[in-house]
Amino acid sequence: MARLLIIGALEAELGLAARMAQARGARLAQADGVASGLARLRAEGADLVLCEVTHDIGWLVEQLAAERIACPVVACGRNADAAAAVRAIRAGAREFLPLPPEAELIAAILAAAAGEAEAPVHRDPAMAALLARAAQLAGAQASLLITGESGTGKEVLARHIHRHSRRAHGPFVALNCAALPEALLESELFGHEKGAFSGAVAARRGKFEQADGGTLLLDEIGEMDLRLQAKILRVIQEREVDRLGGGAPVKVDVRLLAATNRDLAAEVQAGRFRADLYFRLNVLALHIPPLRERPQDILALAAHFAARFAEANGLPPRRLAPAAEALLLAHPWPGNVRELENALHRAVLLARGPEIGPEAVELTVLPRAMAPSAAPAVEAASPATPRGVAGLVGRKVEEVERDLILETLTHCLGNRTRAAEILGISIRTLRNKLHDYRAQGLAVPATVPPLPAPLPWAPLPVGG
């Protein structure tokens, strides 16, 4: 369940939003102003902040950045106050929630903040076997390593394991290790004392302490620096954390789940991952097969996403036309379930008529040289790329990769997170490549600043 901090008086419309969130299973905390809200975040943490536009959202966002607290802020206010919504977004708010609230919008932001609270959707025997094993391992206390390609649903599986564990009554806290720079990641994990660094004006509990009595998921742990890996190993061994600038360790009771799209055994051989940490994490292990290896899940997931996004956007439910289903079944899904989710979100918004037809299904086609080896022919799913496969002959793989990355980024209007999802790579890998391209003198598309989203409203992206 999501941990939601509401900043503002719980009266009238904001109180209604709080009751809706609570009915959806959110764990609520409340603060009267941004200063007291910041104090609660230092002490307790949260998955999401919902702040009235009458408060100084810009100051709150600046303080969160200065104190290395990674928590999204959603502004809320009267639907008619468009100027306030624009100011809030420019001040750093992730989204704007219009008041009076709608239950579907509250459900969407909570689902985005904490992941879907439902069981993983599946029909393929491979996933059925995996979930049976996950149920068997859920009751254990040992660390568990979840592996699989980017976008296969590792965090969804981790939340499923937590809900079926003996720690289900405790918090589930997730942190994407690839989404944060090293200094911020260290503070997020272990917390800090007042004065530990410039901007640390008060003590703050890290993710390990916030997950005390529950479960902590370290997603993309393969991206973590070796120095931080050593500190993680110590926490596992001693069951205590050292805050930055702290003088005494703090005891924690946490079950650790780790997820990665890397081959950690190969990373150990290459000297990029500690062997002792690998063996500590790999006490229990689950591997999620890519979507192309569980084809019976494609249409089941597509129908699920079509229904979910229709409801979230206030649109009538529509089934997929047979021709659209054929496109989905023929696609290799290099971005796995996340790519399928994005494709269905677009299709729901683009569809016209009583069904979701093939014209609404927009798929990203990779050059054959970069497509997954087990994938079916891409040409059956979508029109050929403008260059065609023949246009790749004689070019270096690095050049093809560079052009694909930059064209995908342009397609996503500079949105790094969305581009990384489509490409099936981590956000850190994407940033590193873009840094290299700039050093080579290449033009890299800039990020387009977000604007307030008009209704119908789309859920927030999760992960980072």
pLDDT tens-digit map of 230-246: 999 999 999 999 888 88
Structure tokens at 70: 């990674």
Report the chain's mean pLDDT, rounded to a whole number: 82
The predicted structure's pLDDT at residue 376: 37
Which tens digits make up the pLDDT trace of 6-38?
A: 998 887 788 888 888 887 777 888 999 999 999
Q: What is the pLDDT of residues 291-336, one digit of tens each?
A: 999 999 999 999 999 998 888 777 888 999 999 999 999 999 988 9
Query: Same fold for the domain at 293-385 and the one at 394-449?
Result: no
The answer to whether 89 touches 96, Cβ cutoff 8 Å, is yes
CATH code for 125-289?
Answer: 3.40.50.300
Highest mean pLDDT among 19-28, 130-139, 184-193, 433-442 belongs to 130-139
Running DSSP on this structure, what letter comes out for residue 249?
Answer: -
Q: In the structure, what pLDDT confidence band is assigned to residue 274 with cuts at 50, 70 and 90? A: very high
For residue 166, the Cα-to-chain-centroid distance in whole angstroms is 25
| Closest of 162, 157, 219 to residue 188, by C-alpha | 219
> At the topology level of CATH, where does 3-114 sit?
Rossmann fold (3.40.50)
pLDDT tens for residues 34-50? 999 999 888 888 888 99
Is 293-385 in CATH node 1.10.8.60?
yes
Domain boundaries, the chain: 3-114, 125-289, 293-385, 394-449
Among 269-273, 356-360, 410-414, 446-450, the minimum mean pLDDT is found in 446-450
Q: Which of 283-297, 339-353, 385-399, 443-457 has the lowest mean pLDDT?
A: 443-457
Q: pTM of the predicted model, to two decimals?
A: 0.62
Structure confidence at residue 390 (pLDDT):
46
pLDDT of 336 reads 93
Give me the long-range contacts of 409-418 (CB less than 8 A, separation at least 24): 409/434, 409/444, 409/445, 410/445, 411/364, 413/445, 413/448, 414/445, 414/446, 414/447, 414/448, 415/447, 415/448, 416/447, 417/461, 417/463, 417/464, 418/342, 418/461
Q: Where are the alpha helices (DSSP H) in 164-263?
A: 182-190, 207-210, 226-238
pLDDT of residue 454 exceeding 70, the answer is no
CATH architecture designation of domain 394-449: Orthogonal Bundle (1.10)
Higher-pLDDT residue of 436, 107: 436
